[in-house]
Structure 1
């Protein structure tokens, strides 16, 4: 009973997250957000810690603050990441990527796969799946309409591609947070999963090509597609994502192709293993310089305003949320609330690979329960970290590789897993945006899931590869196995 009571803050957090997604509450004037839910869960966890462990208030506060202190570097990375995303959307980096792809000519057969690839690249550049979807959906859904493509295949392609960069992008908040919780470098995380992610991208692209084989082959125009967007759609976009409106206008008017250079420089720096903060700084400086040359940046003051917007967006939501959830995790760890789960999993699994597979299952189940990928990352992330740390005996190098896989689990099964959960906030947002910008069709939840090949491939493959050990055939993606790593209980035996 004591163990269940200690774990009850997780039930409260999950319950409030699920309740927050019930639309009927809006009509009752009740608004629940993670920024409200996290403080409520943290205060409740503090009360439980005081009752069950007899901790004094200062001990509880110290545990919460100490855990938040460990995340300070993550906060700086997040602020710069949001600033760079704002800069890339506003200076023309995103528009240059889209225009280069559109220059290839789009038909009903190719609109889905091109939408998929462009969304994937743009999401890497901007680090946001929601922003990428809002920017790409108006272009490619209307293009699909013009060239008589399949709008359901196309919307699945945009959704899957938009999530690609959110999972592996250097400036994605989920990438940064999941890596920070597992105490691994973002650059190392990206290199660990890079080849696997690329393979998933290629397989999904092939599936989109195959699914579109029977569609017409007439070429369409992006300008025509943008001109067909109703005024009501522009209004809705300006309210949901103003940067997407700027990007669409830049696509229509055109920007120099060399505006893709800042993204290329950042990707090269990341591959070379340059520290994350330096990569972000390189992206900001290069987008400023090339933007000044291209005329998309009028002056330094305007560019600093872009940075300010990025800092404000990060500070108004994600950093505040991270601080509260970090405090929540510190209190939960202080009273060993996750020990029952650790004990149960350790009894069920027979080797380290099965333990890691169990961590993946916990991540996808947590995502389904919380219906929010960031809530899953910050709630389940500490649990799977403790499971690994407490049950595995290995060298520091091998333990680091296991933490890399845990970070990938948290992010991939959070972002891509969201695409397969009908009640997830991701699906709700994407469905709402798609219906608003393409009012000819009223999108339903399973419209986003049916052809989301990227999500199916990513979720299925990472779990299968981890369980079978076939991940060793993918460069840099394999995790250590027995006898290099062992369950501590097996050593005792």
Structure 2
């Protein structure tokens, strides 16, 4: 196959991603042990394959493409966020923040509502902050703490945190995915929110019902005293307040590390040496995930250069014939792009212009097309074992991301709600929307 043909679009471009999924997930399914193939080894093999494909180009040229994509500012920012998140989680845990926060929750909520409460808090935080990653960083350690003191599986707690995080990532007025969706579809934030909210609301309600049902038989004894110190909870509150105020995530995390350290030094939880070691241990714990996110960025760059994204665009748009088919085409297009890139914002930016053309041609209201773009990208981002949200939660909990998938209720229900909305033609717009 010629290089020009590949640039026009080739399904072979996705071979590195397919090999990665087979190695990482397939080996776990076959052996029933998802730790047998380390994530970083699987992604290294996929990266090597990406670099040897397309013989028409020199190895040096492919390395340049890989490195430029791996070194994209958004990718490097994500890697640094991983490292600081690990440091914050480690320092906060060492000075007793997790224990105090968990005990506060245990003292206020009955055992069968702990996961429901965690999901609701996640929804509120994420919709206020506009970032799923910030929500996961703040709540994952708390979820792990709750799981450790109850018989709730850690994987269920992490899936609950991710579900709440994806709720706001999909709906928040300041989420980068929402901004990308409304801008590419030429609609308004508040109008998209109204349409999107009523589409996914049943999914959120069903998630809370499921969580309540699954944890109803919790056999843990939570009747004893659950002492907590409010001052030890303050690092998490500081992180949340800073994020809600719109402070840059790097400043928020650095501030959390400092606040947790100062409290730990003052109450004797740390001396200077142990404080610095806690930071170092937290960073080391997240180094693998930082490198994986960088390597995934490079692989996606190779896939895009070799025509993989173009192939998806042509394949899906060529099947559209009706308005309902066009809406499913939009869903399939952004879903495929998100699976390929493991980044919902990038998936929306890549497919947004094509989706706008489809929406105009088939008279799909821009509020609906923007909602479809945002929702389906969030659906997959909430279940992909190599997506940054899943990697962050699994890394902070020290479990396999694959183990979380079976409990990913909200992302799946969000997708089902969106499919039903397409099938029944919901919502029914009374008039054309006034565009920005």
TM-score (norm 1): 0.59
User: Measured at CA, do residues 287 and 162 of structure 1 come closer, stay the same or move farther in structure 2, by a change above 3 Å?
Assistant: same
Establish whether residue 64 from structure 1 lines up as the match of residue 38 from structure 2.
Answer: no
Q: Name the residue aligned to 1:43.
A: 48
- Report SS of the residue matched to 1:6: helix
Separation in structure 2 between the aligned mates of residue 322 and residue 60 of structure 1, nearest angstrom: 19
For residues 450-465 of structure 1, the aligned pairs below 5 Å read 454=410, 457-461=413-417
Q: Name the residue aligned to 1:257.
A: 230
Quote how far apart the aligned CAs of 1:377 are: 5.8
One of 6, 24, 27 as aligned partner of 1:17: 24
Structure 1 gap segments, 5+ residues each: 142-150, 171-177, 225-251, 367-375, 419-423, 434-444, 473-480, 486-493
Q: Name the residue aligned to 1:245.
A: none
Q: Please tell me whether the aligned partners of residues 120 and 161 of structure 1 are also in contact (alpha carbons under 8 angstroms).
A: no
- How many residues were matched structurally? 375
Q: Name the residue aligned to 1:344.
A: 315
Quote how far apart the aligned CAs of 1:206 are: 5.3
Q: Please tell me whether the aligned partners of residues 289 and 391 of structure 2 are also in contact (alpha carbons under 8 angstroms).
A: no
Q: Name the residue aligned to 1:221.
A: 222
Establish whether residue 136 from structure 1 lines up as the match of residue 146 from structure 2.
Answer: yes
User: Measured at CA, do residues 413 and 286 of structure 1 come closer, stay the same or move farther in structure 2, by a change above 3 Å?
Assistant: same
Separation in structure 2 between the aligned mates of residue 313 and residue 205 of structure 1, nearest angstrom: 32
Establish whether residue 277 from structure 1 lines up as the match of residue 282 from structure 2.
Answer: no
User: Measured at CA, do residues 57 and 403 of structure 1 come closer, stay the same or move farther in structure 2, by a change above 3 Å?
Assistant: farther
Separation in structure 1 between the aligned mates of residue 285 and residue 256 of structure 2, nearest angstrom: 18
Establish whether residue 357 from structure 1 lines up as the match of residue 335 from structure 2.
Answer: no
Separation in structure 2 between the aligned mates of residue 448 and residue 26 of structure 1, nearest angstrom: 15
Separation in structure 1 between the aligned mates of residue 260 and residue 203 of structure 2, nearest angstrom: 29
Quote how far apart the aligned CAs of 1:305 are: 1.4
Cα shift readout 1:200-222 (whole Å, capped 9, x = no counterpart): 66664356557889x89x99535
Q: Please tell me whether the aligned partners of residues 105 and 219 of structure 1 are also in contact (alpha carbons under 8 angstroms).
A: no
Q: Name the residue aligned to 1:388.
A: 352
Separation in structure 1 between the aligned mates of residue 176 and residue 426 of structure 2, nearest angstrom: 23
Q: Name the residue aligned to 1:378.
A: 342
Cα shift readout 1:351-409 (whole Å, capped 9, x = no counterpart): 88655422464379x5xxxxxxxxx7638886665333555469xxxx9xx99986775
Quote how far apart the aligned CAs of 1:465 are: 6.4
One of 197, 205, 208 as aligned partner of 1:205: 208
Q: Please tell me whether the aligned partners of residues 166 and 411 of structure 2 are also in contact (alpha carbons under 8 angstroms).
A: no
Quote how far apart the aligned CAs of 1:117 are: 1.9
Q: Please tell me whether the aligned partners of residues 21 and 425 of structure 1 are also in contact (alpha carbons under 8 angstroms).
A: no
Establish whether residue 82 from structure 1 lines up as the match of residue 114 from structure 2.
Answer: no
Cα shift readout 1:10-54 (whole Å, capped 9, x = no counterpart): 332332233221353879xx942331222222222222222xxx1
Q: Please tell me whether the aligned partners of residues 138 and 236 of structure 2 are also in contact (alpha carbons under 8 angstroms).
A: no
Separation in structure 2 between the aligned mates of residue 124 and residue 279 of structure 1, nearest angstrom: 9
TM-score (norm 2): 0.65
- Report SS of the residue matched to 2:352: helix
One of 386, 410, 413 as aligned partner of 2:380: 413
Separation in structure 2 between the aligned mates of residue 16 and residue 199 of structure 1, nearest angstrom: 36
Q: Name the residue aligned to 2:274.
A: 302
User: Measured at CA, do residues 471 and 327 of structure 1 come closer, stay the same or move farther in structure 2, by a change above 3 Å?
Assistant: farther
Quote how far apart the aligned CAs of 1:101 are: 2.1
Structure 2 gap segments, 5+ residues each: 123-132, 170-174, 182-188, 359-365
Separation in structure 1 between the aligned mates of residue 42 and residue 211 of structure 2, nearest angstrom: 39
Q: Name the residue aligned to 1:102.
A: 106
Quote how far apart the aligned CAs of 1:64 are: 0.6
Separation in structure 2 between the aligned mates of residue 121 and residue 303 of structure 1, nearest angstrom: 29
Q: Name the residue aligned to 2:57.
A: 55
Q: Name the residue aligned to 2:160.
A: 161
Q: Name the residue aligned to 1:229.
A: none
User: Measured at CA, do residues 198 and 286 of structure 1 come closer, stay the same or move farther in structure 2, by a change above 3 Å?
Assistant: farther
User: Measured at CA, do residues 384 and 255 of structure 1 come closer, stay the same or move farther in structure 2, by a change above 3 Å?
Assistant: same
User: Measured at CA, do residues 285 and 411 of structure 1 come closer, stay the same or move farther in structure 2, by a change above 3 Å?
Assistant: farther
Establish whether residue 290 from structure 1 lines up as the match of residue 295 from structure 2.
Answer: no
Quote how far apart the aligned CAs of 1:318 are: 0.8
Q: Please tell me whether the aligned partners of residues 115 and 158 of structure 1 are also in contact (alpha carbons under 8 angstroms).
A: yes
RMSD, matched Cα: 5.2
Quote how far apart the aligned CAs of 1:344 are: 1.5
User: Measured at CA, do residues 385 and 292 of structure 1 come closer, stay the same or move farther in structure 2, by a change above 3 Å?
Assistant: same
